[in-house]
Amino acid sequence: MRALWLFATITVLGLPLVLHAQEAAASLTLAQAESAAVANQPRMLAAQLRARSSAERVREARAGYLPQVGFNATGARAMDTGTSTAAGALTTSSLSDRFAYGGNLTQLVTDFGRTSALVSSARAAAEAQGDVATLTRAQVRLNVREAYYQVLGAETVLRAAQAALGNRALISRQLSALAQSELRSTLDVNFAKVLESEAELAVVRAQSVVAQERSRLATAMGANTPVTAPLEDLPASAEALPPAPDDLQAQGQAQRADLSAAQAQQKSAAEFALSEKRLNYPTLNALGAAGQIPFHDHTLHDDYAAAGFNLNIPIFNGGAYRARQAEAQFEAQARTQDVAELKLEITEQVRISWYRAEEAFRSLDVSARLVAQSKEALRLAQDRYEAGLGSIVELNEAQLNETSAEITAADATYTYLSRRAELDFAAGLLN
């Protein structure tokens, strides 16, 4: 079915603002917005790529276990004939005319656990980067939820402003008709016109806020164009608030991705410190070389092969290894304190987020009663004014109170939803 478009042009500060509304457009749910953000947000994609990059460092560290094989080609023109020499590292002290090619192999036999510690350190660092990607995902979801609720709140304010404008426009027309019949004064008509203009200005401002919030939602979702689809509304009471923050604090300590990342980074630092300590241990390598000598002196054979070993024992290097070990150990100790500090921060964040959400939740009932009371007060004020017992000022006051109550109720509803999202993030529930 061909889409029908409604175009409404409003002038704000001399610039035309064109609003497009698609009839029967499919609504955008919160789950769809979050899925789009996780799939398209550059920040999310960058975190995933960094996690994959960090995983490759594990392979780099494990390469130390595997043999290292190389190819060599060597040519020499001797000033005098001598005994044989071959390609690669296993050579004699004498040179002769020849051209040789072949391969050499170096295999680590043992470094007394240094390579193992480096692999463990790289693996823990990769886990930390994976946790950072998980934390980024939670932050992206939180940003989408807050932007989504801001759009819903702004649209609720817009509807309240439009209702107020319609009501004031109706009263203005009624007063104009009564003034023509000399049943009302022109002062009441002029006052009603002023109130109608104020309501129209409030609608223009509310429309601008809606457009801005939809643009922010698009950015949170990783989209380049503003979101135009209608949003699916959510009841504020869909998820009841836990009676106390204690259980959420325990969940935060167990599930927060940033805490998991800090713990993995501490483990990585500890393993690296162990590898630095093992720099002082001996290293044993097995060596091998083999190849052919197609051009050589008559005293040489046509091919060669050799095997050997190399034992390296550090004795003195000016204290460099000891300094590296101390540096790594201090860093590991600092990481331990970072974990302890983050645990305190998570406990505080969960507790404060729960208090803020609990305040907003209690405001829901109060704001609902305020709306009902203000509507009743407006009805009475209209009846009094139509009966000639009240003034236009009294009616305007009632209208302002009713519009303000509607806006307050909308703000309370979406403030609670936003603060509940913040609480879920603090407790690690948005991973």
Tens digit of each residue's pLDDT (9 = 90 or more) over 22-45 = 334 588 999 999 999 999 999 999
Residue 431 lies in a domain: no
Residues in the chain: 431
Residue 146 lies in a domain: yes
Q: Is the predicted pLDDT of residue 115 greater than 90, yes or no?
A: yes
What pLDDT, on the 0 to 100 scale, is given for residue 9?
Answer: 30
Sheet holding 68-76, edge to edge: 68-76, 98-110, 283-296, 303-312
Q: Which of 1-10, 69-78, 242-251, 353-362 has the lowest mean pLDDT?
A: 1-10
User: Is the overall model pTM greater than 0.85, yes or no?
Assistant: no
Distance, in Å, from the CA atom of 305 to the CA atom of 216, rounded to the nearest integer, reads: 70
CA dihedral of residues 61, 65, 66, 68 (deg, nearest 10) = 80
Distance, in Å, from the CA atom of 229 to the CA atom of 18, rounded to the nearest integer, reads: 16
Q: Are 221 and 141 within 8 A, CB to CB?
A: no
Distance, in Å, from the CA atom of 187 to the CA atom of 40, rounded to the nearest integer, reads: 58
Tokens of 377: 């007060």
Q: Is the predicted pLDDT of residue 11 greater than 60, yes or no?
A: no
Residue 35 lies in a domain: yes
**Domain holding 79: CATH number?**
1.20.1600.10
Q: Which residue has the higher pLDDT, 15 or 142?
A: 142
Phi, psi of 24 (to 5 degrees): 60, 30
Q: Per-residue confidence at 183, pLDDT binned at 50, 70, 90?
A: low
Average pLDDT value over all residues in the chain: 84
Q: Is the predicted pLDDT of residue 209 greater than 90, yes or no?
A: yes
CA dihedral of residues 251, 252, 258, 264 (deg, nearest 10) = -50
Vertex 430 angle, CA 424 and 431, to 5°: 140
Q: Could you tell me where the DSSP H helices lie in 63-185? A: 114-180
Residue 375 lies in a domain: yes
List residues bridging with 307 in a β-sheet: 288
Beta strands (DSSP E) in 182-338 are: 283-296, 303-312
Residue 186 lies in a domain: yes
Q: Whose structure tokens read 């240094």?
A: 114
For the segment 245-265, the average pLDDT, to the nearest whole number, is 94
Tokens of 237: 């009471």
Q: Is the predicted pLDDT of residue 18 greater than 60, yes or no?
A: no
Tokens of 230: 């209608």
Question: Which among 203, 110, 190, 96 has a CA at the least distance from the CA of 159?
Answer: 203
Distance, in Å, from the CA atom of 239 to the CA atom of 97, rounded to the nearest integer, reads: 87
Which of 197-201, 226-230, 255-259, 377-381 reaches the highest mean pLDDT?
Answer: 255-259
For the segment 335-354, the average pLDDT, to the nearest whole number, is 96
Other residues' Cβ atoms within 10 Å of the Cβ of residue 210: 20
User: Who contacts 360 (Cβ-Cβ below 8 Å, separation ≥6)?
Assistant: 412, 415, 416, 419, 420
Distance, in Å, from the CA atom of 229 to the CA atom of 232, rounded to the nearest integer, reads: 9
Tokens of 262: 């800090």
Distance, in Å, from the CA atom of 245 to the CA atom of 419, rounded to the nearest integer, reads: 14
What pLDDT, on the 0 to 100 scale, is given for residue 86?
Answer: 53
Q: Are 210 and 155 within 8 A, CB to CB?
A: yes
Q: Are 86 and 104 within 8 A, CB to CB?
A: no
Amino acid type, 228: T
What pLDDT, on the 0 to 100 scale, is given for residue 236?
Answer: 59
Please give the tally of structural domains in the chain: 1
Q: Per-residue confidence at 429, pLDDT binned at 50, 70, 90?
A: very high
Which range marks the domain in which residue 186 is found?
5-426
